A and B are shown apart, each in its own frame.
Chain A
Amino acid sequence: MEYEAKKIDWNANAGRQLDALARALPPHSQFDITVFGSAPLQLMIERTFLSEDIDLYSPEEHREFLEKFVAEKGWAKGQSDFYIQVCDPKAFRSTSDWRDRAIEAERHGHLFRFVHPWDVLVSKLQRLEEKDLEAFKLVIAKTGHPTEAEFINHLRSAVDLYRPKFDEETARGDMLMNTKILWKELWNKEIDVRAAIIRPALDRSRHDYEPDPNLKTRLANLKLPPK
């Protein structure tokens, strides 16, 4: 399934709210807004996929303004049943190349960048609550993708998410364990995460940086050629 800007459903709840935001933002400076969480799924896959909020962030220079602006309009958390949450960019973590796949759309002079549904799924895998699992099932039921092989390959681009977390991050969940649970739920299979995802991803990134380890030994043992 191709995800394109022209297929974004601006009539879905999230679409209408974002359209209102774009219309209300000051026109003199172009805002650059990244939308992640469940909203891209609602906008690109299934408009009835429920979510109570729209998670988004903007570059640091606009963040404070955007937070205040959303609150002034009454769209912030606690002010509206379908609210906009202005987040820190670090709140969204997914594959290393998610920006290359993001779908960009201009709305009333502002740039909206929607995270590709597969990259949304990767970010949800870090938590994998019941609702996150539903998101996986929805995407696969509606589009037939990602297949098991496709998602293994996709997760290799998110290998850093499998690294141990800071003690302060334990609430984010265990990505390795969640991947095993996901495989059991979706494909009724066991997965060896290290063999299928982590090692191949690390091997691929190491490939270009393996010089001949004997170069210095050769230098130490140089001998003049016989005359």
Chain B
Amino acid sequence: MLKKGEPRLDTCWRKSRIAARILLREEAGKLTPRDVALGRKFAFDKGVTPRLIDQAIHGIRGKKNRLERERRAAA
């Protein structure tokens, strides 16, 4: 467990996941002013790469699909 105040070593991945969520919200037409500001910031962040964003988008969509399947199976 990471202690409070210690530097994280997965910031690129964490930022890319946030960027992915922002892009998914854009597709859903649900962007907020905060999303727009953060998205523009990430666009110029070297650690946030298309590869990581792409992985995150597929991961988030995959999780949604899995939960949907489980919900249907339980119904």
A interface with B by C-beta (< 8 Å): 209, 211-220, 222-225
Contacts and interface: CB of A to CB of B under 8 A. Distances in A.
> Is the contact region of chain B dominated by helix, strand, or loop, or is it mixed?
helix
Contacts of A211: 50-51, 53-55
A213 B33 CA distance: 24
B43 A219 contact: yes
Interface stretch (B1-9, B23-31, B62-70): B23-31
A227 to B, nearest CB: 11
A201 B3 CA distance: 45
27 contacts: A211-B50, A211-B54, A213-B50, A214-B50, A215-B19, A215-B50, A215-B53, A215-B54, A216-B43, A216-B49, A216-B50, A216-B53, A217-B43, A218-B26, A219-B19, A219-B39, A219-B40, A219-B43, A220-B39, A220-B43, A220-B44, A222-B22, A222-B39, A223-B36, A224-B31, A224-B33, A225-B29
Which 5 interchain pairs have the tightest Cβ spacing?
Answer: A211-B54, A220-B43, A219-B43, A222-B39, A219-B39
Nearest to B29: A225
Contacts of A214: 50
B13 interface: no
B53 to A, nearest CB: 5
B31 A216 contact: no
Contacts of A223: 31, 36
A220 B44 CA distance: 8
Interface of B: 19, 22-23, 26, 29-33, 35-36, 39-40, 42-44, 48-51, 53-55
B54 A212 contact: yes
A225 B30 CA distance: 7
Contacts of A212: 50, 54
B73 to A, nearest CB: 29
A105 B12 CA distance: 47
Given A216-B53, A223-B36, A225-B29, 14 more contacts: A211-B51, A212-B54, A213-B50, A214-B50, A215-B23, A215-B54, A216-B43, A216-B49, A218-B26, A219-B19, A219-B48, A219-B53, A222-B36, A225-B30
A224 B36 contact: yes
A180 B36 CA distance: 56
A219 B51 contact: no
Q: Counting chain B CB atoms within 10 Å of each CB, which of A212, A216, A225 scores highest?
A: A216
A157 B49 CA distance: 29
A222 B21 CA distance: 13
Contacts of B39: 219-220, 222
B60 to A, nearest CB: 13
